[in-house]
A and B are shown apart, each in its own frame.
Chain A
Amino acid sequence: MINSTPHLEVRQLTMAYGESIIQTQLNFSVQHGEIFVIMGGSGCGKSTLLRHLIGLMEPAEGKILVNGIDLWQASLEERNLLTRNSGVLFQGGALWSSMTLGENIELLLTEHTKLNKKQIQEVISYKLSLVGLSRYTDYYPSEISGGMRKRAGLARAMALDPDILFFDEPSAGLDPISSRDLDDLILELRDSLGATIVIVSHELASIFAVGDNSIFLDPTEKTIIASGSPKHLLESSTDPRVIQFLTRMN
């Protein structure tokens, strides 16, 4: 049965740091199984929007609904369930530096599942193998490269088979080949797991490679100035700011 409720819905959202408004009047929805890209230039509030979507920052105004449940009106049980069903890949990986890669994944499994130790180890091996790091279970984050940290962060984000994954600048700091590999991995995960994926990015190659739908945030207007599939925006947008952003690779 097709789920008609959007997986994620943002209504009249205003984001602010104290008195300073970052973005206002944000309205958009993300459908189940979609790869949704939040794009815009540096400093326009993309990462701040992501922090709102994952519940780290409370909206100044407006609502964020996940599967129809208001993130900030939900009961503790509902919030824990929403959290359990989402995974986040932070910009630098944000792996817990005092734990090995295996322990980073283990923490989620021990907190949110009733698996025994042997089963947990099997899940850890499987998750790390998905991102090509099965030989690095006992390595600390400081002992691996930046690209490997990103992939380990992705394995941790997928640890609980979440319905929705949030990626903050997944390609940032990666060489073009690693970046393309990560894009391919994201597409494979979406196709195989059917997860909804929300990506914050300003890497054009990635945006066009993976994005089904997108919004474009503008720092001057402080709101969304374009929305739709990235390829469609490239072909049909008439806004010079969007055109300039989407064509700067040429």
Chain B
Amino acid sequence: MTVSTSKKYRLVAVDSGACLQLSGNWLFSSGIPDNSALLQELVSLQPNTLSFDCQQLKNWDTGLMTFLTGLITSCHQHKIEVIKESLPDGIQTLLRLSFAVTERRSQRRTVLGQPVLTKIGNVTIEMHRNWSDMLAFIGDVFFALLNFMRRRAQFRLSDLFFQIEAAGPSALFIVTLISVLVGMILAFVGAVQLRLFGAEIFIANLVGLGMAREMGAMMTAIIMAGRTGAAYAALLGTMQVNEEIDALKTIAVSPIEFLVLPRLIALLITMPLLCIYADFMGIIGGGIVSATMLDISFFQYFQQIQGFVGLSHFVIGIIKAAIFGLLIATAGCFRGLQCGRSASAVGFAATSAVVTSIVLIIVADAIITVLCQVLGV
């Protein structure tokens, strides 16, 4: 008696069991037949056994195996004995392999299905762990700096010079481009408003003060966070993956002193210098706009800046740049050393280094600005 049929299979009731007749080609390139109707028929029929008739079966591949795997799993759930011996040898071997190790559902990651409260809890625990690690790292860096001052730090001077070269001169082109453009943008924005009052000359004050106190240091820091901070995290992360950091620890060389210290000192030296350079490039950018749009000569422009923007404003910017450099190096190296042991972890370390650096830069800038306001500087 035929119970269920499709173009490729037919379910037939035999004695106390059922027989599934398979026919034609079962190639997954032409799709896998839906087995839900067959399963319903099997459940309603409740046979003791399920056997197979493969006389009409032609070519088969993963398409048939997927179909059978689902079918056999359902049969196990409904306590229907599957007589696999009635299948061709090749299929029997593949089925034996696929059922050899039962899938452990609990082993799967269940992040997507977690309740919101669990997710919040996990994120909180992760943040707490992150901050604890960060504090420990800052402590280690502090002691490494003390060792450096006592000339007992373990690092190579050649590494320091290489890092200075990589973080300083190599970054000049991008710093020039961004700073000139920022200076021009500041001048453009100011020009529109100041022209209304006939106060175009104060463009010089706006650009000079803006670059010296804020934008010079800030834009340099953001460039360096994306360029150098990410590079530090990626490099140290890759070293972590390749066990190079472990190799340093096994020879009693502190990775903080050997790897972090040269990078930290390099940024401490180069950031203030790049900031001074960015200040002047920004001012030149503003000068170009003033000269071309507002008919203010370069001489007038620079004389106005000289009269209004005192050295203290530049010094505040330079101090900020040094602090930002410290933060970028710390965040980049911290994320690199915290990196896991996979390629994706390196990518994550580089991304989080940039995010952490920028957040720290903005927060530090806000604190310094408020402090300057309170101190009347």
Contacts and interface: CB of A to CB of B under 8 A. Distances in A.
Nearest to A108: B251
Nearest to B156: A107
A96 B244 contact: yes
B312 interface: no
Contacts, number: 51
Interface in A70-88: 79-80, 83-84, 86-88
A91 to B, nearest CB: 7
Interface string A57-74: 000000000000000000
Contact of B250 (A55, A92, A96, A107): A55
B246 A56 contact: yes
B253 A111 contact: yes
Interface string B216-251: 000000000000000000000011001110111111
A95 interface: yes
Dominant SS among interface residues on chain A: mixed
Nearest to A84: B252
A95 B252 CA distance: 15
Contacts of B304: none
B154 interface: yes
B253 A94 contact: no
A88 B251 CA distance: 9
Interface residues of B, number: 15
A170 to B, nearest CB: 14
A90 interface: yes
Nearest to B246: A56
A56 B247 CA distance: 10
A66 to B, nearest CB: 13
A96 B251 contact: no
B242 A97 contact: yes
B252 A90 contact: no
A94 B244 contact: yes
A16 interface: no
Contacts of B154: 111
A108 B249 CA distance: 11
Contacts of A80: 252
A112 interface: yes
Interface of B: 154, 156, 238-239, 242-244, 246-253
28 contacts: A51-B246, A56-B246, A56-B249, A83-B250, A84-B251, A86-B250, A88-B247, A88-B250, A90-B243, A90-B246, A90-B247, A91-B243, A94-B243, A94-B246, A95-B244, A95-B247, A96-B248, A97-B238, A97-B239, A97-B242, A97-B244, A107-B251, A107-B253, A108-B251, A111-B252, A111-B253, A112-B251, A156-B247
Given A87-B250, A112-B252, 19 more contacts: A79-B252, A80-B252, A83-B250, A83-B252, A84-B251, A84-B252, A90-B243, A90-B246, A90-B247, A92-B242, A94-B242, A94-B243, A95-B247, A96-B244, A96-B247, A96-B248, A97-B242, A111-B154, A111-B253
